[in-house]
């Protein structure tokens, strides 16, 4: 493993593929109180007044342009793509608005959505927002995988939706029964649920009239568009208020760092993306779906994912549709890297039109970048920038990104136009705090958490520590410096930055692990729970189960070697890892152990795996503990 990145190191002088970013302009203000303010000097492009405006715009100006595409019902190798143009979308949305208004949609009637990403999901979402109803997209796991539906019932009681949409009534029957729908109407795309008042999406459509136009006219920047749920890593999910202004301004902030005319030329007139990130999460729903709508782009809905069962579908789609941008979470990039290495045809399609790659949701190790870049150079003869985006549900989500050719992972970039970042001194670190039109006004029905979320100057507190990648040159961007809440002390008082240990340890192991949970609060040393990366481990041990991988000597050997390499580079007590237990299963999203972004909830995983956490620190170790 030690020499596998030699080629990419030798290619560092190769140029990046042409990226139409505007010149970087950064304004830095250092205040007497120790705070540092950062602003982007580029102007913010004017945003649409609300989220339905770009749909109307593109339908009027280019009605035959593709907006969405999804696989036909035939999921075999011959399955083609069902496509929806902007003109068709506007026609369907207007009719659905009429039907929703007849069911009582409006500002006091939130609509819960239980559905995977689909054309139908997008149509009902935008129709609901047009009708004035706040949308409440809920992760399907709450309804499909849960045994007691506790989180689904909690969300139901919090936002009190008046209407519920499911993409399949039979599939979601248990969830509907467990939630207790009562006499509330359930809208379904396929297969009517039983025991509830229901209407099909097809029957909901009605000929639009003046009431549809009046509903459109009532939309305003401060109208609530959505209640987006946080992942609930520190308790029950919170409902983050998303206004039309927030999301409309956020997508323009992203566009404001691009030379749009040059971008249009390079992309041959339309942005194209293939993406699986769920619309029940802010990354997929706002930074992907609505951003592509604002661009007038074509979004191919990917029903794959970076899991053993769904990875083949994700790769199939990427191999079939050449994209101009690809943005996803680090877990997906790790899986894609392996597939690109093994499949030259995939690499040829993937890089054929690609202008920029990006990741968000969690930090990504340099090793993944180098593996992807090595294939890019081999395939195209040039590098393709792999940049980071950064934000949260409360920031719509993107508040900063790396808007310059980049070959350094771990950066969160610099503020986008229209945003002010404050680096506020907290102990020995700087906490990042944000102001801008894309920031939430607060949490629905939770005044206490809303008050806690903002400082005395009205900046939203991200909870992340940051630092300059180069203290002498702020324009090189900010780097993540750990979660303020995730830092902990060992028994001797030594502070441990769990975020830094996690990222560096996974990078050092270089493939066999997808993630680790960093443990050691009030202990004398650091231990980690390691989660297997099945796709990579197939190289080492063949096609086995996760449990079998965790016990296989070749996998254990590779993990041990990687962690020992990590320890040689990080010998101090604040970062050195003393023990590791490989987990016999993958983290469970339904139990709150892994977020939709694809990263581990450190506290929840430790709570659920308390026995293994305890075994990391026993005086006499069990045979399955890797002692370093």
Looking at residue 228, its pLDDT comes to 98
Average pLDDT over the chain reads 92
Reply yes or no on domain 488-627 having CATH 3.30.300.
yes
Q: Given this model, what pLDDT does residue 1 score?
A: 34
Per-residue pLDDT, 189:
98
The total of other beta-carbon atoms located within 10 Å of residue 452's CB is 11
Please spell the DSSP secondary structure of 51-74, one letter per residue.
Answer: TTHHHHHHHHH-TTSEEEEEE-S-
pLDDT digits 0-9 by tens, 421-464: 999 998 778 999 999 999 999 999 999 999 999 999 999 999 88
Q: What is the largest CA-CA distance in the chain?
A: 76
Q: Describe the crossing of helices 498-509 and 366-380 by its angle, rounded to 10 degrees.
A: 40
pLDDT of residue 4: 39
- Give the dihedral sign, CA 216/218/223/228: negative
Prediction pTM value: 0.83
Asked if domains 80-219 and 488-627 share a fold, the reply is: no
Q: What are the b/e assignments for 278-291, b being 16+ CB within 10 Å?
A: bbbbbbbbbbbbbb
Domain boundaries, given as residue ranges, for the chain? 6-48+245-436+461-483, 80-219, 488-627
Class of domain 80-219: alpha beta
Q: Are 22 and 40 in contact, with CB atoms under 8 Å apart?
A: no
Nearest to 281 by CA among 402, 179, 142: 142
The whole-number pLDDT of residue 230 equals 87
Interacting residues of 614 by C-beta distance below 8 A, sequence separation 6+: none
Q: What CATH number has the domain spanning 6-48+245-436+461-483?
A: 3.40.50.12780
| Predicted pLDDT of residue 77 | 56
Q: Which residues of 98-127 are buried (b: 16+ CB within 10 A; e: fewer)?
A: bbbbebebbeebbbbbbbbbbbbbbbbbbb
Q: Which residues fall within 8 angstroms of residue 142, CB to CB, at 6 or more apart?
A: 114, 149, 151, 152, 155, 175, 590
pLDDT of residue 8: 42
| Average pLDDT along the chain, 628 residues, taken 10 residues at a time | 40 77 94 98 96 98 98 69 98 98 98 98 98 97 91 96 98 97 97 97 98 98 97 72 98 93 83 97 96 97 92 96 94 93 97 92 82 94 91 96 88 96 90 98 97 97 92 93 77 84 91 94 94 93 95 97 96 95 89 67 88 95 96
SS3 content of the chain, % helix, strand, coil (to 5): 35, 25, 40
Tens digit of each residue's pLDDT (9 = 90 or more) over 101-123? 999 999 999 999 999 999 999 99
Q: Where are the alpha helices (DSSP H) in 221-268?
A: 244-255, 260-266
Element holding 615 (H helix, E strand): helix 610-616
């Amino acid at each position: 493993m030690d020499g596998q990145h030699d080629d990419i190191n030798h290619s560092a002088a190769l140029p990046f593929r042409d990226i139409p970013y505007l010149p970087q302009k950064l304004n830095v203000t250092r205040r007497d109180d120790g705070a540092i303010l950062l602003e982007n000097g580029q102007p913010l492009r004017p945003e649409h007044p609300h989220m339905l405006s770009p749909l109307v715009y593109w339908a009027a100006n280019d009605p035959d342009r593709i907006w969405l595409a999804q696989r036909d019902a035939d999921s075999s190798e011959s399955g083609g793509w069902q496509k929806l143009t902007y003109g068709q979308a506007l026609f369907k949305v207007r009719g659905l608005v009429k039907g929703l208004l007849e069911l009582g949609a409006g500002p006091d009637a939130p609509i819960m959505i239980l559905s995977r990403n689909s054309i139908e999901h997008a149509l009902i979402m935008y129709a609901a927002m047009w009708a004035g109803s706040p949308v409440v997209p809920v992760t399907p796991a709450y309804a499909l995988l849960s045994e007691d539906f506790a989180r689904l019932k909690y969300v139901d009681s919090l936002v009190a939706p008046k209407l519920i949409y499911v993409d399949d009534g039979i599939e979601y029957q248990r969830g509907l029964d467990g939630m207790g729908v009562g006499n509330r109407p359930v809208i379904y795309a396929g297969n009517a649920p039983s025991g509830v008042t229901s209407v099909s999406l097809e029957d909901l459509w009605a000929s639009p009239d003046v009431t549809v136009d009046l509903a459109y006219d009532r939309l305003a920047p401060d109208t609530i568009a959505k209640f987006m749920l946080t992942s609930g890593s520190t308790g029950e999910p919170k409902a983050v208020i998303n206004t039309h202004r927030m999301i409309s301004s956020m997508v323009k902030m992203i566009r404001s760092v691009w030379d749009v005319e040059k971008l249009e030329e390079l992309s041959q007139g339309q942005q194209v993306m293939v993406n699986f990130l769920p619309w029940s999460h802010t990354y997929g729903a706002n930074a992907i779906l609505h951003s592509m709508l604002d661009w007038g782009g074509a979004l191919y809905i990917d029903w794959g994912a970076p899991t053993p069962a769904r990875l083949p579908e994700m790769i199939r789609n990427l191999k079939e549709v050449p994209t101009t941008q690809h943005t996803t979470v680090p877990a997906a990039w790790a899986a894609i890297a392996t597939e690109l290495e093994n499949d030259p045809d995939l690499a040829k399609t993937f890089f054929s039109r690609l202008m920029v790659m990006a990741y968000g949701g969690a930090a990504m190790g340099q090793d993944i970048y180098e593996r992807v870049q090595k294939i890019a150079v081999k395939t195209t003869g040039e590098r393709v920038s792999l940049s980071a985006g950064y934000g949260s549900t409360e920031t719509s989500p993107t508040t900063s990104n790396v808007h310059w050719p980049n070959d350094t992972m771990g950066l969160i970039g610099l503020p986008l136009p229209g945003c002010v970042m404050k680096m506020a001194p907290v102990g020995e670190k700087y906490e990042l705090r944000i102001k801008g039109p894309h920031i939430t006004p607060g949490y629905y029905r939770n005044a206490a958490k809303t008050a806690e979320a903002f400082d005395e100057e009205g900046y939203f507190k991200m909870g992340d520590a940051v630092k300059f990648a180069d203290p002498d040159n702020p324009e090189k961007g900010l780097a993540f410096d750990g979660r303020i809440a995730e830092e902990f002390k060992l028994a001797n008082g030594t502070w441990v930055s769990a975020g830094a240990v996690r990222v560096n340890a996974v990078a050092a192991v270089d493939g066999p692990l997808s993630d680790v949970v960093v443990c050691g609060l009030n202990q004398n040393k650091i231990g980690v729970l390691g989660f297997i990366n099945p796709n990579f481990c197939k190289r080492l041990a063949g096609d086995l189960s996760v449990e079998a991988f965790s016990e296989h000597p070749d996998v254990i050997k590779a993990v041990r070697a990687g962690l020992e390499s990590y320890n040689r580079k990080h010998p101090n007590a604040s970062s050195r890892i003393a023990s590791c237990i490989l987990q016999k299963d993958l983290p469970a999203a339904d139990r709150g152990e892994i977020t939709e972004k694809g990263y581990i909830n450190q506290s929840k995983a430790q709570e659920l795996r308390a026995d293994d956490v305890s075994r990391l620190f026993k005086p006499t170790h069990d045979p399955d503990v890797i002692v370093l």
